Structure 1
Amino acid sequence: MHQAALLGGLIRDAHHYGWEVTHPALHDWRKMAEAVQNHVKSLNWGHRVQLQERKVSYFNIKAHFIDKHTVCGVAKGGKETLLSADHIVIATGGRPKYPTHVEGALEYGITSDDIFWLKESPGKTLVVGASYVALECAGFLSGLGLDTTLMMRSIPLRGFDQQMSSLVTEHMTSHGTHFLRGCVPLGVKRLPDGHLQVTWEDRASGREDTDIFNTVLWAIGRVPETRSLNLEKAGVKVNPESQKILVDAKEATSVPHIYAIGDVAEGRPELTPPAIMAGRLLAQRLFGQSSALMDYDNVPTTVFTPLEYGCVGLSEEEAVARHGQEHIEVYHAYYKPLEFTVAERDASQCYIKMVCLRKPPQVLLGLHFLGPNAGEVTQGFALGIKCGASYAQVMQTVGIHPTCAEEVAKLRISKRSGLDPTVTGC
């Protein structure tokens, strides 16, 4: 969906490069949705085939614990299957949550799980939430030319660097996404013509307001899929507030032979790649004579908003809290990607920030990159941070011209200096 939206921007840029493109370029949601769904189905089929090739028994059943070594699985038709094992791994993930206190939310709203399976365009859409899921969904809907509003109760991208988060929302605003800040939904009502009337409160003024939408998408967080597992039968302990499973450094639960990985585990990043690596390392410890543990520090990630935000390591706020303002040096730059030049795109939110310890050799604590292909850029520099790279070593790295990643190796201006961080030719 993100790629489809980016392609729309490239089509609009094409005439700058000499391409004659019919305007306006029209987007066919149905055709895109069919292609995306076929891709997902092919992935699922491929996994089934590979499991079979590796002689892994696959049961398409919903399971719950009978005791600490046994689960009971129930198929769609009601048939029950008992499975016992020496080791059990819980990797049930999470599901998007609905605001149960908002009237009409469940009856008339959808979640991020549903948006990818809609056969028809969602039309004018209200996205409620401020997480990366909320911003990504609102971003690609706007990019596809849909009238999109994002309602945020508080700050965007909580837990991420807040300067970068502000730049992300600035870019989205300048490219057509409407923001309702400091607002909370009160109710959703279906009108006779099928449209949805949403009422909300502005928390600052206490004033209520309404608008009409075709679709309301809830992206207010996720809940772990633990409630139906009968974990108490196995003696597995959960955090009573979050309902996530308590685990140790070996991914073991309160029952030593039962493990939990991914979103369902307490204190783990809600990201797929760390869960995959944690599972692989767990398998190697159980059956491959390994003792290697998953390292959850410096996990890189990217928020796929229209202008992508990649990060690894500490945010500026976290670095200051951990080490103190006087021990931190931040190098930064506003830059213009090559792709933005001929097309004369606004690059005012394209920004890089490197957070370091101030004491030489200035070990890197975090890197934050806002711009095209942020995931590709961040992936490469994540290795350096994992290896304990310093600012001095980055400055000794030759950049690849004319890439955006090259700008990381050219960061010379510190925030402390107060100098203009805009990249120039000299």
Structure 2
Amino acid sequence: MTILNNFVRINNLIKPLISTDRVVILARRTASTHGNFDYDLAVIGGGSGGLACAKEAVNLGARVAVLDYVTPSPQGTKWGLGGTCVNVGCIPKKLMHQAALLGESIHEAVAYGWQVPAASEVKIDWAALTESVQNHIKSVNWVTRVDLRDKKIEYINGLGEFKDPHTIVATMKNGTKKELTAKNIVIAVGGRPHYPEIPGALEYCISSDDIFSLGHPPGKTVVVGAGYIGLECAGFLNSMGYPATVLVRSVPLRGFDQQMARMVTNEMEQRGVKFCHKCVPLSVEKLESGQLKVRWLNTEEQQQFEDVFDTVLIATGRYALTKQLNLEAAGVNCITESGKILAATEQTNVPHIYAVGDVLEARPELTPVAIHAGRLLARRVFAGAQQHMDYDNVATTVFTPLEYGCVGLSEEEATKRFGADNLEVYHAYYKPTEFFIPQRNIKNCYLKAVAMREAPQKILGLHFVGPVAGEVIQGFAAAMKCGITMEHLMNTVGIHPTVAEEFTRLNITKRSGKDPNPASCCS
């Protein structure tokens, strides 16, 4: 009886753990699932989402292989394991953004009493910057490789494609083929920059795949495209002293709140970035001097322009790397015209084949999204968990010179869904304390909360343009997940003096017509 009672007691203790979707899952369900396959899971793509899924699957007892291969960019740039974020995305972008901010701080330090060299003597060493950035990236590549080895995940540095629904053929660097089978397969190949079909684009232009390791200073640069990648690159290049021009085809930051987008571009223009609106590139020609002559068309006025630049950076969007996968052989047919995969719950039309990350249609192209989705997918496949990725209210930040952070719906999208009469938009301009000495432009320091008009005024979207926007919006993202209302926000005591506290001081609505400018820093 004692043994039986002890068994019952232990069973009651572990039952709650087994029934949750937490990582602490005591019963491994994969021991009997190997069958005749080489692996329980094969992941095609070694970026953030694929690696997160692979690691979680191994933690749950699965045998896992990861295939990753980087096809060089048109300019020959390639990189190591870790995907876009680590190598040519979030990480190097943030480091270069930080370098630009530090340059600005050097000039501002004089007003605080610091004795620094004359402004004319302060300049960026591009070679030193890129070396530091690339050294950090290489260290992350190495740590990632070691982590896979320690977890006993087989890493295959080969270009994978389907032979049949359970078989993948990897083409290795030396051209040899390696074949493997897997019970489950995750497609996590992400995407690469799209190049416009104009003369000279592939031959002479670079993209975000190249800028962070560019072997020479970019000099005078034209950025083709005004999405977040284009604006971020133009912003840090201009701040480093490299003149930047942006060709805007339609609107800046498409998909983001357009009032906030205007704040971002207004700030950039005031800092010296040149914007050419309603313009598309026509050709890029290399001159004997090595510089590049760019021709473009204003589609409104039907007028052509040209100028000479040192660098042309293409930022006209990205395409999914699905064409090279031979998806037909696997039976995967849920592909859009853009090459992306339609999979509402990451599961394709083939039950054992899944997709995570930027390769998915109509999903946020964000690293944390891919990581979280990958982990949850592994838990569903190998631990019987039920939780799915919630793609709503995902926060993000555009790291332009004055940053833009947001979570939830834009004002345009909220109006489309609920109607303007059913919304209340609270807004305010504000004065960051750090902008007082020296006196800096505060015209574009602005925030707003888009809420339902009916009590308790559930908040649908929060938007913030200003310093450290990413740090500000992250905390409010958790509040959005909890269903924050304007009453909650107004009853929150802010930390003074911070820029984040401005959200707790919102009290003026657009509907009221009152002046949203503060009378003082404490008003």
TM category, shorter: over 0.9
The residue correspondences of 1:317-396 to structure 2 (distance < 5 A) are 317-396=412-491
The answer as to 2:387 corresponding to 1:292 is yes
Q: Which runs of 5+ in 1 are unaligned?
A: none
Give 1:57's aligned residue: 154
Give 2:33's aligned residue: none
Give 1:93's aligned residue: 190
Give 2:276's aligned residue: 180
Q: State the alpha-carbon separation in 1 of the partners of residues 500 and 311 from structure 2.
A: 38
2:123–2:240 Cα contact (<8 Å) kept = no
Give 1:161's aligned residue: 257
2:226–2:253 Cα contact (<8 Å) kept = yes
Secondary structure in structure 2 of the residue aligned to 1:277: helix
How far has the Cα of 1:80 moved from its partner? 1.0
Offset from partner CA, 1:357-413 (integer Å, 9 cap, x none): 001110010000000110011000011111101000111111001100001000011
**One-letter code of the match for 2:129?**
M
How far has the Cα of 1:130 moved from its partner? 1.3
How far has the Cα of 1:270 moved from its partner? 1.1
Match of 1:68 among 160, 165, 189: 165
Give the TM-score of the pair, scaled to structure 2.
0.80
1:244–1:266 Cα contact (<8 Å) kept = yes
Q: State the alpha-carbon separation in 2 of the partners of residues 413 and 210 from structure 1.
A: 46
The residue correspondences of 1:128-207 to structure 2 (distance < 5 A) are 128-207=224-303
2:222–2:244 Cα contact (<8 Å) kept = yes
The residue correspondences of 1:212-223 to structure 2 (distance < 5 A) are 212-223=308-319
Give 1:82's aligned residue: 179
1:152–1:182 Cα contact (<8 Å) kept = yes
Give 1:105's aligned residue: 201
**One-letter code of the match for 1:378?**
I
Give 2:74's aligned residue: none
Give 1:302's aligned residue: 397
Match of 2:111 among 4, 13, 16: 16
Match of 2:368 among 273, 280, 288: 273
Q: State the alpha-carbon separation in 2 of the partners of residues 79 and 126 from structure 1.
A: 41
**One-letter code of the match for 1:150?**
V
Q: State the alpha-carbon separation in 2 of the partners of residues 262 and 339 from structure 1.
A: 37
Q: State the alpha-carbon separation in 2 of the partners of residues 381 and 338 from structure 1.
A: 21
The residue correspondences of 1:24-43 to structure 2 (distance < 5 A) are 24=119, 25-43=122-140
Q: State the alpha-carbon separation in 2 of the partners of residues 108 and 343 from structure 1.
A: 41
How far has the Cα of 1:240 moved from its partner? 4.0
Q: State the alpha-carbon separation in 2 of the partners of residues 332 and 16 from structure 1.
A: 31
Q: State the alpha-carbon separation in 2 of the partners of residues 29 and 338 from structure 1.
A: 31
Q: In terms of Rg, which structure is larger?
A: 2
How far has the Cα of 1:248 moved from its partner? 2.5
Secondary structure in structure 2 of the residue aligned to 1:136: helix
How far has the Cα of 1:105 moved from its partner? 0.8
How far has the Cα of 1:318 moved from its partner? 0.7
Q: Which runs of 5+ in 2 are unaligned?
A: 1-95
Q: State the alpha-carbon separation in 2 of the partners of residues 248 and 32 from structure 1.
A: 41
After TM superposition, the runs of 4+ consecutive aligned structure 1 residues lying more than 2 A away are none
1:34–1:119 Cα contact (<8 Å) kept = no
How far has the Cα of 1:424 moved from its partner? 2.3
Give 2:102's aligned residue: 7
Give 1:263's aligned residue: 358
Give the TM-score of the pair, scaled to structure 1.
0.98
1:160–1:315 Cα contact (<8 Å) kept = yes
**One-letter code of the match for 2:118?**
H
Secondary structure in structure 1 of the residue aligned to 2:431: coil
Q: State the alpha-carbon separation in 2 of the partners of residues 416 and 245 from structure 1.
A: 42
C-alpha root-mean-square deviation of aligned residues, in Å? 0.8
